[in-house]
Amino acid sequence: MSRIDMNIMIVGTGYVGLTTGVVLAKLGKEKKISLTSYCIDSIQEKTEMINAGTPPFYEQGLEVLLKEVIKEKRLLASTHIAEFINDVDIIFICVGTPSRDDGSMDLQFIQSASRDIGNALRSAKSKPVICVKSTVLPGTTRNVVLPIIEKHSGKKVNHDFGIMATPEFLREGNAIHDNLHPDRIILGEMNERHGRIVEDFYEKLLSGVPLLRMSIESAELVKYTSNALLAMKISFANEISRLAETIPGVDVTEVMKGVGLDERISSKFLNAGVGFGGSCFPKDVSALVDFTKRQDLVPHLLQSILDINETQPIHFVNLLMKNIPEDLEDLTISVLGLAFKPGTSDMRHARSLKIIEHLKQIKKVKTIKVHDPIAMETAREELSNLKIDVTFSKTIEECIQDSDACLIVTEWDVYKKILPKTYQELMRNPFVLDGRRIYDKNEFSSKIKYKAIGLGEISKK
Ligand code: NAD
C-alpha cells in the first residue's frame, strides 16, 4: 500500500460494525495512520447516539473507546453513504443476517445495504473494496451482494470496485479485545489485487495476526464451520452431562477437564450448562442445516447440535422439579442471569427466555423473580413481547428472598461471589440449581441443597 492514509466505511453499526469501526479508528491512531471510520446505520437515532459518544448497546470497554475516537474526530456516524463514499477505500458490510422461522437466512438487510451502496457508488469517483463482514452462506457475496451493487451502481466489479468476503469472529462481551487481537483474519477474494489491498490494510493495523487468503466461498464457509464446531462442543458436553447426572459420583466438569487436557481436543467450549444462545450460534447452525438440506444432503450431526440445545432448558427445568419436594406448592423461583452470556445486554436466543417459558407452564410455579446486572431493560422488552409476566428484582437479595429454588442461568461474576450463607438466610427453602457450574459443589452442598447440570449424586465421603 503506497498511501499511508486510508479511510473505511462501516455499513450497519450493531455489535460487529460499531466495535469494528471504533477499534480500527483507535488502531489508526496507534499506528499513526490517518484513518477515519465512517459508520453508517439506517436508524438515525443510533447514529446520533454514536456521534454523542454513547453506544446504542452495552459492550465491555466500548463506551470509553467510542468517546475517545469521537473526540479525536476519527469516527463519524451518519445515515448517508453517499456523503462519504468518495473518501473511503474499504467498505465493510456489517448488517444483521437473522434467521427466519424455518431456519433459513433472512437476507433483507444484506439486500438493502447492497442497494444503498450501489446507489451511492453510481456517481462516486472512488473505487472501494467492498467487504462482506456479515455472516452469509457460501455463494451470497457473489450471487446476491454483487449483482445488486452492479445493478444499482451501473458499474462493474474488479474494474470500478472490489468485492470480498471477510467474516468476523468476535465474541460479544469480548468484542473490543477480539477486534484488537483476532486469532486470524480470513480474506475471501475474487481478485488478487483487491485481496492484497485489504491484506496490506490489516497488516498495517494488526501486524503479526495470521492472515489467510482464499476464495470468497471458502471464506464464507469458514465462518459457519467455526460456529458449528464450537456449538457442537457445547452440545456434546451437554449430552455427556445428562449421562453424568445419572451416575452417582460423576461430575461432568471433572470429566471435561480430563478430556480437555488432550491437546487434540482442548478444554475450550466443553462447559456443560443450559445451552448456547446469542445472535450467532443458533442462527448460524440453523442456516447451515437449511443450506445442507438444499444441497440434497442430510445434516445428521448439525441437526443434533440444535436438538440437544433446544431440549437443554427443558431438561434443566425437569431437573429442578425432580428436586423440589412433592408437598411444596405455590413455588417462588428466582432466576439469576438473563443475558445470553456475561458481559453483554444481548438477549437474542437467551436460554433464560426458554427456561422462563418452561417454568411458566408448570402449575406449581406461582412466582418467577428475575435479576440481571445489565440486561434488565432488554429482558423487560423481550418478555413483554412474549407476553410472559415475571417479577423484576432490583437486587440479587430481593430476587432470592423467600424463594424455593434459585436457578443460575448466566455466569455473571457478581453471582459467583454470593456465599452459601446468603442463600441460607434469605431463601424460604434454600436450594440452588447451578446451570452454569459457577460454584464449588463441596462448599455449597454441605450448607444448603445444591444441584447442578452434569452432577451425579454427590458422593458422601
Ligand atoms: P446487529 O443487528 O447488532 O446490527 C446490525 C445493524 O445494521 C443495525 O444497527 C441495523 O440498524 C443496521 N442496518 C440494517 N440494515 C441497514 C442498512 N441497509 N444500512 C445501514 N445499516 C443497516 O447485528 P450484529 O450482531 O452486529 O451482526 C452483524 C453480522 O455479523 C451478522 O451477520 C452476524 O451474524 C455477524 N456476526 C455477529 C457477531 C456477534 O457477536 N454479534 C459475531 C460475528 C459475526
Mutate-to-test residue for ligand 1 from 15, 48, 97, 185, highest number of ligand atoms within 8 A of CB: 15
Does residue 376 lie in a domain region?
A: yes
Residues 108 and 179 in one domain: yes
Note whether residue 419 is domain-resident. Answer: yes
Are 261 and 234 part of one and the same domain? yes
| Count of the separate structural domains present in the chain | 2
pLDDT of residue 412: 97
Q: According to the model, what pLDDT value does residue 460 have?
A: 56
Residues 330 and 420 in one domain: yes
* 411 and 447 part of one domain: yes
Residue 75 sits in the same domain as residue 163: yes
235 and 195 part of one domain = no
Asked whether residue 101 falls in the same domain as residue 173, the answer is yes
Domain annotation covers residue 216: no
**Ligand 1: which residue has its CA nearest to atom 25?**
15
> Which pLDDT belongs to residue 344?
87
Each residue's pLDDT expressed in tens, for the chain with a length of 461 residues: 444 588 999 999 999 999 999 999 999 999 999 999 999 999 999 999 999 999 999 898 999 999 999 999 999 999 999 999 999 999 999 999 998 888 788 999 999 999 999 999 999 999 999 999 999 999 999 999 999 999 999 999 999 999 999 999 999 889 999 999 999 999 999 999 999 999 999 999 999 999 999 999 999 999 999 999 999 999 999 999 999 999 999 999 999 999 999 999 999 999 999 999 998 999 999 999 999 999 999 999 999 999 999 999 999 999 999 999 999 999 999 999 999 999 888 999 999 999 999 999 999 999 999 999 999 999 999 999 999 999 999 999 999 999 999 999 999 999 999 999 999 999 999 999 999 999 999 988 777 999 999 999 865 55
Residue 54 corresponds to which amino acid? T
User: Is 183 found in the same domain as 97?
Assistant: yes
Cα 15 to ligand 1 centroid, rounded to whole Å:
7
Q: From ligand 1's centre to the CA of 425, what distance in Å?
A: 45
Q: Which atom in ligand 1 lies closest to the alpha carbon of residue 112? A: 18
Q: What is the pLDDT of residue 447?
A: 77
Spatial strand order of the sheet with 365-371 comes to 391-392, 365-371, 331-336, 405-408, 431-434, 449-452
Based on the domain organization, do 188 and 241 belong to the same domain?
Answer: no
* pLDDT computed for residue 2 by the predictor: 41
Query: What is the rounded end-to-end Cα distance, in angstroms, of the chain?
Result: 67
Nearest to 66 by CA among 52, 80, 79, 78: 52
Q: What is the span of the domain harbouring residue 346?
A: 226-452
The residues assigned a catalytic role are 280
Q: Which atom of ligand 1 is nearest to the CA of 169?
A: 43
Supply the pLDDT for residue 459: 58
Q: Which atom of ligand 1 is nearest to the CA of 79?
A: 20
In a domain, 457, yes or no: no
Residue 304 and residue 271 share a domain: yes
Question: Residue 339 has which C-alpha cell?
Answer: 443475558
Q: Residue 2, exposed/middle/buried by CB under 10 A (0-12, 13-18, 19+)?
A: exposed
Ligand 1 centroid distance, CA of 280 (Å):
11
For 452, the 3-state DSSP assignment is strand
Last residue of a domain, one of 156, 174, 209: 209
Closest ligand 1 atom to 57 CA: 3
- Domain boundary (174, 209, 244) is at 209
Taking the centre of ligand 1 as the mean of its atom positions, its distance from the CA of residue 117, in whole angstroms, is 16
The last residue of a domain, from among 149, 182, 209: 209
**Cell numbers at residue 204, please?**
498495517
CATH label of the domain that carries residue 166: 3.40.50.720
Measured from the Cα of 116, ligand 1's closest atom is 18
Residue 410, in any domain of the structure: yes
Task: Give residue 446's pLDDT.
Answer: 79
Claim: this prediction has a pTM higher than 0.75: yes
For residues 245 and 144, state if they share a domain. Answer: no
Nearest CA, atom 1, ligand 1: 14
Cell of 48: 446520533
CA of 167 to the centre of ligand 1 (A): 12
Cβ pair 6, 35 in contact under 8 A:
yes
Asked if residue 14 and residue 141 are part of one domain, the reply reads yes
How far does residue 41's CA lie from ligand 1's centre (Å)?
Answer: 10
Does any domain span residue 219? no
Q: Whose CA is nearest to atom 44 of ligand 1?
A: 168
* Residue 30 grid coordinates: 496507534
Q: Of 10, 11, 13, 16, which is best to mutate to test ligand 1, by the most ligand atoms within 8 angstroms of its C-beta?
A: 16
- 107 vs 95: CA distance, rounded Å: 10
Say if 220 falls within a structural domain: no
The residue contributing the CA closest to ligand 1 atom 28 is 96
- What residues flank ligand 1, with Cβ below 6 Å? 11-17, 40-43, 46, 94-97, 109, 112-113, 116, 134-135, 168, 170, 172, 279-280
